[in-house]
Structure 1
């Protein structure tokens, strides 16, 4: 590209996977890109840490394998040789007294991922998130539903940010956008340190942040954004001595299990937490098993819409609740050698009935403001592929049809 448009400056507000995907696409069109992330790290729900010295995902662990967006992005930033299919794929359903196969037609499931929040979604939102695929893509029965990255899915965020920088972009951490102002020839974004001028803005932040930023320029959109609700969740990651899980069939037969919202919890005191999913990381991902041959790593997720208060229990209480349910579901009686609780407060948007119409109204209200786009899980789907696609689409609307 040549001319003024090629040199245009676009600011991306939010360094989660949607914002990074937008920045990556904008850089490919010749735009000068600045990413502003309010926290100390990139990736949003892509967050890899370690438990007992083993790298493991504390957030989203899988990239949809039957949609191209996230996997293609991983390959584009040099991670193709780290993509891995699960070693074990079947997912069980715990009815409260036994683990049973998922009903036919439900695929392999993704316990521990945002899809485990399906009980908070409208039917349309659930179907859009779980079943959307490109024309001609394989149906869910054709193979594993997800792929992982050797060493953790969090590597995707760092690799994309590296590609953005290599293309001349800038990425700033601990730099929240405080205000957004329309000018005669573009936009100004105010941070604590300075005010940045630009030709375009992509807001890839949570809806409540987007609402604040667009309030002056688009009050109707701001009001709608305020109505998008969020669900809080917690992930409890634990490592056990592998010999202490040997002989328990569940850990060899399944990659994890899901828990229906109405499943009973025999013996549980009122007001205590209960899990909604478990993922057996050592069984599921060969790279976890290979890095810790003497350990068995698993994780549980807790927190449903309307039950978030349980997430404010102490870490020990959430670990205890997880062990209680794991014992009931699998027979596991061992104590972990290490445990880590990760809370995602307001971490995932809800898609109630009417969500699609609300998103359409928001985008309609923003339509009269050239160079301003929104993207991310709050609008177009909670999965990694959804967020990548949302970010790329926002970037392409900013860049124009010729790109």
Structure 2
């Protein structure tokens, strides 16, 4: 069996050790005589799996006791609707930072369901740098300030947590568990699983308990955070196997030394790739140094006519899914927690060889 290095932005690569453990437990989970995906979500065995996954996640993230952790579905995209529905029950509006495509999608949904405005935007610099702190001006009636910590497509990452005298809501889909975070600074954090948590199908939401009482009366039950909190995230049959795999990833991450240790590795991986790009006249990354993503590294070749050749040869070399998002073009290497440093080293070596041959 050959496993290549998968640089896909999501669904992303998973730790080999997690896949091997899931393989070994696939047909017979710990002697129960059935697979996790066949278990009742109400069984003692699965409830133990779910509770251990939540406990491990809380420890990894340092989630305070006055926050609920929800395992929902629908991806971050569904949370774009959940945010205004759950936070605007007492009126007011939503304020949003615009730092790229995912921020804009959240803003669009906010405007579809309520009143929403832009507190600051990176549009004037071509989405290459985050707005200055002094430029962030939430609306006077804002009930929350929403932002995306890391724009998966554009590769722009916030270099600081915005300061605001209102609940901060953060989409951390492509950065969660990749670096240390002070959860107490936030009202809500949400993240789709398919980048650093596990396979697609689970969305993790961390919400401060006092905010669970702010939902609009017309909030559908399946979008209501309090309803999920009250039922232990089991309003309906959850994505049980995805939840189980997320738990295996949390366990693996703990074995690596936790978030602080994986952050050191992630910063080393990212530095190697950015240094290779910066040292070259052949490749270019457009993002301001302070806002370069730790997990999603876009780059362009000096001659776009070589893109197809680069992708063909990189795939032949076992470096998969390096094509940039269709909206921006070029290349993108997603180097989440599960991407081993060897994968980045192989990519850097390939880029140097490709430049020597075609530069």
Q: TM-score normalized by structure 2?
A: 0.26
As a proportion of its length, which structure holds more strand?
A: 1
Instruction: Determine which structure has the larger helix proportion and give its number.
Output: 2
TM-score by length of 1: 0.24
Q: Which has the higher contact order (CA 8 A, sep 6+)?
A: 1
